[in-house]
Structure 1
Amino acid sequence: MNPFSESLQFPSIFTFIIPKHLPENLDFLDLIEQKRNNKIKCLQTKKQFIWARFLVKTIISSYEHIHINSIRIKYSKNNKPFCENSSLHFNISHSHKLITIAINKTPCGIDCEKLNKLKHLDRLSAKLINETESSILKKKTHSKLLQFYFAWTTKESITKLENSTLFNTYKNISLTHITDNNILSKNHTSQKTYYSYWFRFKDHLINFTSHNNEKPLHIDLTNKFTKSFL
């Protein structure tokens, strides 16, 4: 059964609120995933792991017309996931009960963060945001908390896009411009430009980043998957 009523397009961002239950059938997990799942003791982490793989594999299955049980997810040395038998690029992020998945024809990164109040906000911001970035972010919002999350989700999604480390991102990349839904960043070493599209969903901030200036389609799958696939 295909859960998509919308026309599929690239890039797309899929959101999903994790339900209380797990999928009844776990055949879509390969042997390595089954072993990893069996080692997870925390129920919330187990739900994130299982539902994220169910969603990714079902989405790719719908795009590529490959049976869900045939899809193999592998990981790079920096733990970036990729599909062994598909040319599509995807990225996963989860925060509390929200899972977000980005699908694209070119490399992409995504991050979602629940907008919680943070202890030691000034100290965290000082490590993450330089003076130039601070002045840019202040033009968008005077909330130090939002400034932090704008910078954090942008740099996290760039790190995942580049299959890099947060250390390299903090060292080499700076935010250069922010508008209503877009953030522009630049790598001072490679001169690469990054285009981030951000939006708020429920009580989360979601940030999608690629090398192309494009607005992704947002599809919420919460009701479709829980009703159609269980």
Structure 2
Amino acid sequence: MEIVKRKIDRNLSREKFDYLLSFVNEKEKKKILRYRRYEDSLRSLYGKIILKDMLNLEKVELEYNKWGQPKLMNEDKLYFNISHSGEWVAVAVDEKPVGIDIQEINKTDLDIAKSFFSKQENEYISSLPEEKRIEAFFMLWTLKEAFIKAKGRGLYISLNSFTIDISNKKPLLYNEENEECELSLERVEENYFMATCILEKSF
């Protein structure tokens, strides 16, 4: 797996933005420009340009499955995934289905976990000292997002339909299908977690 992460330049000139925009096809260009906030357009564009550079593409040409997951047009042997949050954009590329998620750590209502996390995950968070619960929440959230993105079905998979155990050094997935995947988690700077997931077989 190859991963590239990059900070966005919020002061990027409009001229440079338009130049970079020329490296994506018209469909992607419209998607990027559809955002109301310039920063959101910038993050989306950065993801496509990072992918272009990683794969040495002349232009980014994507197609989408029925769940809205992007893939390279006319390419069935290479997988990629893009994530962005706050200042960071991250892209992962692999020969197996791959998911990546980066999340900024901020104050959040932990009651969200009761709705979206499994019973085991909620019990784990509750067992921790209060000052460590927010971090555990974001560790689990990024790992779970990375898994469902690797599956290629996005939020069509319920987040509480599977469990990720982070009580040991290596995160482990448990679900009814006994799927095998390689999960990893790292901290980016002080305020972000980034997780990746590689599936052992295609779906």
User: TM class by shorter-chain length?
Assistant: 0.7 to 0.9
Higher RCO (Cα < 8 Å, 6 or more apart): 1
| SS at 1:68 equivalent | coil
Shift in Å, 1:137: 5.5
- Distance of aligned partners of 1:13 and 1:137 in 2 relative to their CA distance in 1, 3 Å threshold: farther
| SS at 1:175 equivalent | strand
Asked if 1 retains the 8 angstrom alpha-carbon contact of 2:118 and 2:161, the reply is no
Match of 2:171 in 1: 183
Number of positions where the alignment pairs a residue of Structure 1 with one of Structure 2:
192
What is the CA–CA distance in structure 2 between the aligned matches of 1:99 and 1:172, rounded to whole Å? 27
| TM-score, reference length from structure 2 | 0.83
Q: Which residue of 74, 80, 89 maps to 2:69?
A: 80
Unaligned runs of 5+ in 2: none
What is the CA–CA distance in structure 2 between the aligned matches of 1:141 and 1:175, rounded to whole Å? 19
Aligned: 1:204 with 2:192: yes
| SS at 1:45 equivalent | helix
Asked if 2 retains the 8 angstrom alpha-carbon contact of 1:184 and 1:193, the reply is no
Give the 5 Å matches for 1:1-230: 11-19=1-9, 20-21=11-12, 22-23=16-17, 25=19, 26-61=21-56, 67-69=57-59, 71-86=60-75, 87-118=77-108, 120-121=109-110, 123-136=111-124, 143-166=132-155, 168-180=157-169, 182-188=170-176, 190-202=177-189, 203-212=191-200
| TM-score, reference length from structure 1 | 0.74
What is the CA–CA distance in structure 2 between the aligned matches of 1:178 and 1:210, rounded to whole Å? 20
Unaligned runs of 5+ in 1: 1-10, 62-66, 213-230
What is the CA–CA distance in structure 1 between the aligned matches of 2:129 and 2:182, rounded to whole Å? 19
What is the CA–CA distance in structure 2 between the aligned matches of 1:137 and 1:183, rounded to whole Å? 15
Per-residue deviation, residues 66-88 of structure 1 (Å, max 9, x unmatched): x422x411222222111114331
Identity within the alignment, %: 19
